[in-house]
Amino acid sequence: MALKGIQVLEIAGLAPAPFCGMILADFGAKVIRIDKAPGTDFEDNFVSHGKLSVGLNLKHPDGVEVFKKLTKTSDVIIEPFRAGVMEKLGLGPKTLLQLNKGLIYARLSGYGQEGSLSQKAGHDINFLSYSGVLSMLGPHNSGPLPPSNLLADFGGGGLICALGILLALYDKSKHGLGQVVDCSMTRGAAYLASWLFRSHHSPLWGQSRGQNMLDGGCYFYKTYKTKDDKWMAVGALEKKFYDNLLIGLRLSAEEVPQFSEFDSANKIISDRFKMHSQAHWINVFKDLDACVSPVLSIDEAAKLDHNVMQNSFVKSCDVNAPVPSPEPRLSLTPSHSRSSQSRPPIVGEHTLNELKILGYSEDEIHALAKRNAVFFAYGNSKL
Domain spans, the chain: 7-193+326-375, 221-295
Instruction: Say if residue 132 is exposed, middle or buried (CB neighbours under 10 Å; 0-12, 13-18, 19+).
Output: middle
192 in Cβ contact with 134 (< 8 Å): no
131 in Cβ contact with 124 (< 8 Å): no
Biggest CA-to-CA distance, the chain: 85
Residues 6 or more apart in contact with residue 40 via CB below 8 angstroms: none
Give the three-state DSSP class for 56.
strand
Instruction: Give the pairing type, strands 292-294 and 313-316.
Output: unpaired
Give me the pLDDT at residue 124, please: 95
Report CA-CA distances (Å) from 191 to 111, 184, 197, 267. 13, 10, 9, 36
346 alpha-carbon distance from chain centroid? 22
Give me the pLDDT at residue 206, please: 76
Give the three-state DSSP class for 19.
helix
Phi, psi of 104, deg, nearest 5: -95, 115
262 alpha-carbon distance from chain centroid? 35
Give me the pLDDT at residue 303, please: 95
- 221-295 CATH: 3.30.1540.10
Closest CA to 360 of 374, 372, 348: 374
Report CA-CA distances (Å) from 273 to 94, 231, 232, 260. 61, 9, 8, 18
Global confidence as pTM: 0.92
Phi, psi of 163, deg, nearest 5: -60, -45
Through-space distance between the first and last CA atoms of the chain, rounded to whole angstroms? 34
Q: How far apart are CA 276 and CA 29, in angstroms?
A: 49
Give the three-state DSSP class for 136.
helix
Closest CA to 9 of 77, 101, 57, 99: 77
Closest CA to 275 of 229, 227, 233: 227
Q: What residue spans of the chain are helical by DSSP H?
A: 16-26, 61-72, 85-88, 93-99, 124-131, 160-175, 185-192, 194-199, 239-249, 262-273, 278-285, 298-303, 305-309, 337-341, 351-358, 362-370
Helix crossing, 239-249 with 262-273: angle to 10°?
50
- 7-193+326-375 CATH: 3.40.50.10540
219 in Cβ contact with 144 (< 8 Å): no
CB count within 10 Å of CB 371 equals 14
Give me the pLDDT at residue 216, please: 86
Phi, psi of 115, deg, nearest 5: 105, 170
- Spell out the per-residue pLDDT of the chain, length 383, in tens: 899 999 999 999 989 999 999 999 999 999 999 999 876 565 667 888 899 999 999 999 999 999 999 999 999 999 999 999 999 999 999 999 999 999 999 999 999 999 999 999 999 999 999 999 999 999 888 899 988 999 999 999 999 999 999 999 999 999 999 999 999 999 999 999 999 999 888 877 878 888 888 888 899 999 999 999 999 999 999 999 999 999 999 999 999 998 888 889 999 999 999 999 999 999 999 999 999 999 999 999 999 999 999 999 988 776 778 899 999 999 999 887 655 567 889 999 999 999 999 999 999 999 999 999 999 987 665 55
Residues with a known catalytic role: 123, 153
